[in-house]
Amino acid sequence: MNSNYWVRTRSAQLEAKIDREETARRQLSQARALAKTGDLAKLGEALALVKDINLETAAWVEAKPDVDAWADKVLQYSFQKWEEEDLDGAIAVVQFVPPDLDLPTEAQDLISFGYAKRLATDPYDQWTPSYGQVYNLREAIQAVQRISPTSPFYAEAQASLTEWRKKLDDMVQLQYASTLARVGQRATYALAIAEAEKITQERPQRLQAQTLVSHWRKEIQRLEDRPILNQAVQLAAAGGKANLRLAIAEANKVKLGRALRVEGQTYIAEWQDRIEIIEDQPIMDKAAKLAANGKVSGLNNAIAEAKKVAKGRALYDEAQASIKAWTTEIQTIEDRPILIRAENLAAIGSLSAAIDTAAQIAPGRALYGEARVSIAIWEKERAYIWSLQAPAADSYGGDGDSYGDSYSDDGYGDSDDSDGYQDDYYQ
């Protein structure tokens, strides 16, 4: 049993070691491919990749000379930026170098400075000071304090140190103010505002302080005005024009520029609509009743009634939609006989008469589109009939007079019967 257990354990250990080695080899291969491009950013990516290689693997031993060479290239470029008096550029580049490498003191100082600057300036989603921000700022201060006075970066580090200390003091004060504000009472908001206003114009966190002060003042306004809106909502819930008007008057007490002004005006617009619906719904009901008989007179009276709903009123769009529907209904009643008459003419072969009749339906009318479709069909039928007549006319006409005078272009010319035949079937 013990022997089997040892074999299984040893086997699992070997598998884990092989997996680590394969992963490390993959990372090293990817890093070398990136480094071959010669691009500085890609070199930084290569360094970031090898930084994750397990230090106990053979791949790391093999990678170490490459890492040192790549880091050296990055540092050379970073120092070049430094010599060009581009400190921000130098710090941006040196971020690629892992901080735990065995490097010269100057390089270590530059890396420490870059690391500190990143901690001090990293953006945060939170607009109020967080413990994470304060912690990182303290870490940044400790990092630059380790830079020796003999370092070429000492002066810039000290300038940053002074600024970051001020920033830390401001953030601690704002954090205290935020703690007071979280109580959510008018008095604690006032205390929080007083604390934040101690951060003067020239301080690094002045903008953040002003933003928080503005927010807390609005919170005080919300506490003051919420009872007003709650009372207005209660009045409106009772229903009826009188209560809705009282609710509107109450909500109007929230003045322009106050935090709940928009919410109050939204309620007012909703309640005004409800008043207008109460006033105008009887008009729409009467109009619908007038239109219900489906006669032109009733529909015209319904339209006249619905037009009493003025533009801008809550039911105006509904009224206009009904007017449009009733107008369509009237036009259909008026024009359907015309279209039926045209269809009957077409059915007996009087295509020209059918076309002329259907053309009486004017553009914009309800049946205009239907009429135009029918006209297009009849015009094609008529053109086809005329195309059949054309060869017959040519064969009898020719150069001789004996046949030319005996036949018309449309059919047999002189016979009364043929005239009737022509009218019925060829027009």
Helices 58-83, 2-36: axis angle to 10 degrees equals: 30
Q: Is residue 228 part of a domain?
A: no
Cβ neighbours of 145 (radius 10 Å): 12
**Range from 1-5, 174-178, 260-264, 317-321 carrying the lowest mean pLDDT:** 1-5
Q: Is residue 153 part of a domain?
A: yes
Q: What residue spans of 122-197 are helical by DSSP H?
A: 131-145, 154-181, 186-196
Q: Is residue 319 part of a domain?
A: yes
Region 245-249: mean pLDDT is: 98
Number of domains observed in the structure of the chain: 3
Q: What's the start-to-end Cα distance of the chain, in Å? A: 110
Say whether both 134 and 37 belong to one domain: yes
Say whether both 278 and 424 belong to one domain: no
Say whether both 158 and 301 belong to one domain: no
> Which residue's entry shows tokens 């601690």?
172
Say whether both 421 and 379 belong to one domain: yes
pTM summary value:
0.60
Nearest partner of 51 among 92, 19, 96, 98, judged by Cα: 98
Q: Is residue 340 part of a domain?
A: no
Say whether both 319 and 359 belong to one domain: no
Q: Is residue 252 part of a domain?
A: no
Q: Tell me which of 183, 215, 249 is where a domain ends.
A: 183
Backbone angles phi, psi at 299, to 5 degrees: -65, -40
Say whether both 295 and 385 belong to one domain: no
Q: Which residues contact 233 (CB under 8 A, 6 or more apart)?
A: 247, 267
Q: Is residue 415 part of a domain?
A: yes
Q: Note the pLDDT of residue 158.
A: 93
Say whether both 328 and 358 belong to one domain: no
Say whether both 408 and 310 belong to one domain: no
Q: Note the pLDDT of residue 405.
A: 39
Nearest partner of 205 among 163, 167, 164, judged by Cα: 167
Chain mean pLDDT for the chain = 85
Q: Tell me which of 144, 167, 183 is where a domain ends.
A: 183
Backbone angles phi, psi at 365, to 5 degrees: -80, 160
Q: Tell me which of 161, 183, 205 is where a domain ends.
A: 183
As a whole-number percent, the residues of the chain with pLDDT over 90 amount to 55
Say whether both 302 and 368 belong to one domain: no
Say whether both 142 and 54 belong to one domain: yes
Q: Is residue 379 part of a domain?
A: yes
Q: How confident is the model at residue 22 (pLDDT cuts 50, 70, 90)?
A: confident
DSSP assignments along 71-88, one per residue: HHHHHHHHHHHHHTT-HH
Q: Note the pLDDT of residue 418.
A: 37
Q: Which amino acid is at 317?
A: D
Q: Is residue 150 part of a domain?
A: yes
Instruction: Tell me the residue range of the domain where 396 lies.
Output: 348-427
Q: How confident is the model at residue 393 (pLDDT cuts 50, 70, 90)?
A: low
Say whether both 178 and 306 belong to one domain: no
Say whether both 13 and 100 belong to one domain: yes
SS3 407: strand
The enclosing H or E element of 404 equals helix 401-404
What is the DSSP code (8-state) at residue 426?
Answer: T
